[in-house]
Amino acid sequence: MLGAINQADFMTAAAGTDRALWRDGVGFFLPGGPMASDAGMPAMDMDAARRAVAASGYAGEKLVLMAPTDFPAINAMSEIAGDMLRKLGVTLDYQAIDWGTALKRILSQEPVEKGGWSAICTYTAGINALNPAVHAYMRGVGRTGQWGWPDSPALEAMRAKWFQGVAGEAERALGRRMQEAAYRDVPFMPTGIFFQATAHRRTLVDLPKMFAQFYGVRNG
């Protein structure tokens, strides 16, 4: 399915048409970080992706996409994901739910017939994709790991290598190898990066950066 992902579509849905607010052509690590690269990145080709799905042995099994409606960016990305999956010929059960319901179900490893799920769109802070120490989604420990439960011994071995200490070109090279492994084993599917726009009165001070938060904010 990787070749079916048009990151520009996902990011336009999440953040609008102003390209200053988002980037496509994004891999598994934070753009601009020491491990980011375009290594292994597949070309966008919907026809090839559709043929690959047909050749994979897929026989029309139902795929459940949980689509939380109370997070505007996630809701918008879910609409793009649902359209993409339908174009791939997937039998899609698009479930528009609230985030609280999604959180209750997201840990379920049951089959979809017993309340499980197949896919969900989400996002995290960019800093959480900087390197293997903080990148919870770039793991491959299977059923004991992050929800989604990807299994990739290669990713885990390279993550352990990073903790042994790499820097400079060695770190960049390791990042390229990890991304190539991720495009083979697919712990998740990158859909781009966007900047969350916020607005507030100039009299407000001590407003935390990154996500819109209002802890400790005061009127100066």
Indicate which CATH number applies to the domain containing 95. 3.10.105.10
Within 13 A of 176's CA, how many CA atoms are on the CB side? 8
> Does 197 map to a domain?
yes
**What pTM value is reported for the model?**
0.90
Cα 127–Cα 130–Cα 131 angle in degrees, nearest 5:
135
> Does 205 map to a domain?
yes
Report residues of the chain scoring pLDDT below 70: 210-215
> Does 161 map to a domain?
no
| Domain of 6, in residue numbers | 2-125+189-219
Residue 92, token pair as written in the block? 């899609």
CA-derived radius of gyration, the chain:
19
> Does 88 map to a domain?
yes
Number of structural domains (the chain) is 1
> Does 112 map to a domain?
yes
Q: Is 43 left (phi over 0), alpha (psi -120 to 50) or beta?
A: beta
Q: What pLDDT was estimated at residue 219?
A: 83
> Does 23 map to a domain?
yes
Dump strand ranges (E) for 26-78: 62-68
